[in-house]
Amino acid sequence: MKIRIIKSVMPLFLAIAYFTAIFAQEASPPPAGESAKDMEVESSEDTEVESMLNDLTIEEKVAQLFFITPEALTGVDGVTVAGSRTAECFAEYPVGGIVYFSQNLISREQISSMLTGMQDISMNRINLPVFLAVDEEGGPVTRVSGCGIEGVPEIGDMFSVGKTGDVQQAYQTGAEIGTYLSELHFNVDFAPVADVYTNEANPVIRRRAFGTDAGTVSQMVPMAVRGLMDAGVEATLKHFPGHGDTAVDSHAGYACSSKSLDELRSCELLPFKAGIEAGASFVMAGHISVPNVPGCDTPASLSHTMLTEILRNELGFQKIIITDALNMGAISNYYTSGQAAVQAILAGADMLLMPSDFQSAYAEVCAAVYDGRITEERLNESVRRILKEKMRLM
């Protein structure tokens, strides 16, 4: 009798064990480092991004790829306000970003008024914030520091910071720059420089870099990124894949590095990897040719090998790739504005900085989408990345 009772309840025990295992499996925690709440937030963000994307026309999506000066937008020299002319032109070309230079920046009140006005224009036109950027590296490349703007300290060069060996100083410098830029209503800094200054003949990087040693630069760059972003300003790593070994300034013409991919991996790419891991929102692709990597002289900013295969796939950067200024000699001497814009998008770039002829470049990208050279899905990939970063500003 006793044996029969055990046998009769055995299926019940097995059923309980089975369903307990199923429930435990369904209730298992998400992968390490990602909470259920994080996954829910990410899913909600993705849904919102798709909704925003679906609200945009093809022309509006293309406009979001461009990062231009207020002069290129309005056709007016020395823009210092965001007024009716700006609103009228932005209505036709709701670009993704505006970059400002010294001629646009006069006083604290003027800068703040201009930038908040520009942000209002963008929200009213397209219900999206606009990236408002400046080159504020410290040292020789500053548009705000050292220009007499009230309450803005003078920032020294990054080479001096790197020389201290103190990574906290890199963080503090980034935070200091980010604080005054954020107060003025900038939301993007085209900094820090992630180049390693290894060529004494280099005419353009020099003291803009944190140093001549990849290890030092790789320690300083992520701290500067965190300092900027903790202050509320998006950071940009530049100039991928590294401008510190070239002997020519790409502003003027063809700039080249003879390094192999393995040599880049052991030096130039290390600070970019560190900055990406620190959360940088942008990587600026330089107009540097590395013929021993893709096997041709195409500048990195227009190279599928450099932008997609190496920066995206190997280094794992999934945020916004922006070109360096497309009006620089390394591009404008060899390509039309339209050619460079289309090739950069096909190579993997998401945003196009300062083409020589904005309207021509915009028209050519639109034409490339309509005739299939750039698929709508490829266009959407870039716009999704832009929208995802803009959600951080809303």
**18 in any annotated domain:** no
Is position 53 within any domain?
Answer: no
pLDDT surpassing 50 at residue 7: no
Q: How many domains is the chain partitioned into structurally? A: 1
Residues 6+ apart with CB under 8 A from 366: 58, 59, 62
What was the pLDDT predicted at 48?
93
Phi, psi of 330 (to 5 degrees): -60, -20
Model pLDDT for residues 88-128, shown as the tens digit of each residue: 999 999 999 999 999 999 999 999 999 999 999 999 999 99
Please state, rounded to an integer, the average pLDDT across all residues of the chain: 89
- We report the CATH number of the domain holding residue 208 as 3.20.20.300
Asked if the structure places residue 258 within a domain, the reply is yes
Can you list the positions of beta strands (E) in the chain?
66-68, 97-100, 131-134, 136-138, 141-142, 188-189, 234-240, 255-256, 282-285, 288-289, 320-323, 352-353
Residues 6+ apart with CB under 8 A from 271: 194, 195, 196, 210, 214, 217, 218, 220, 221, 237
- Residue-level pLDDT at 271: 97
Q: Give the residue numbers spanning the domain of 86.
A: 58-391
Specify the pLDDT at position 243. Answer: 86
- Is 120 in the active site? no
The count of C-alpha atoms lying within 13 angstroms of the C-alpha of 72, restricted to the half-sphere facing its C-beta, is: 26
Strand partners, 189: 134, 235
Q: Which residue of the set 166, 251, 304, 357 is catalytic? A: 251
Per-residue pLDDT for 132 more than 70?
A: yes
Q: What one-character DSSP code corresponds to residue 210?
A: S
Note whether residue 3 is domain-resident. no
Identify whether the C-beta of residue 306 lies closer than 8 Å to the C-beta of residue 293. yes
Query: Considering the domain boundaries, does residue 8 fall inside one?
Result: no
Q: What is the mean pLDDT of residues 35-40?
A: 58
Annotation marks residue 251 as catalytic: yes
- Dihedral sign, Cα of residue 70, residue 72, residue 78, residue 84: negative
Whether the CA torsion 337, 338, 341, 343 is positive or negative: it is negative
3-state secondary structure of 155: coil
Q: How far is residue 261's CA from residue 164's CA, in Å, rounded to a whole number?
A: 30
| Confidence at 255, pLDDT banded by 50, 70, 90 | confident
Q: Give the rounded percent of residues in the chain with a pLDDT score beyond 70.
A: 87
Q: Three-class SS of residue 237?
A: strand
The DSSP annotation for 59-114 comes to HHHHHHTEEE-HHHHHS-SS-----HHHHHHHHH---SEEEE-GGG---HHHHHHH
Greater confidence (24 vs 40) lies with 40
Q: Give the pLDDT of residue 346.
A: 98
Residue 14 binned pLDDT confidence (cut-offs 50, 70, 90): very low
Q: Any idea which residue has 């470049």 for tokens?
A: 361
**What is the crossing angle of helices 269-277 and 214-230, to 10°?**
30
Buried b (16+ CB within 10 A) or exposed e, 46-81: eeebeebbeebeeebbbbbbbbbbbebbbeeeebbe
pTM of the full structure: 0.88
Catalytic one of 324, 350, 357, 371: 324
Contact 105, 147 (CB under 8 A): yes
Residue type, 279: G
Q: Which residue has the higher pLDDT, 87 or 251?
A: 87
Residue 138 covered by a domain = yes
pLDDT of 39: 56
pLDDT band of 13, cuts 50, 70, 90: very low
Residue 40, domain member (yes or no): no
Instruction: Decide if 168 is inside a domain.
Output: yes
Residues 198-233 have pLDDT tens digits of 887 776 788 899 999 999 999 999 999 999 999 999
* pLDDT tens for each residue of 180-204: 999 999 999 999 999 999 887 776 7
Q: How confident is the model at residue 68 (pLDDT cuts 50, 70, 90)?
A: very high
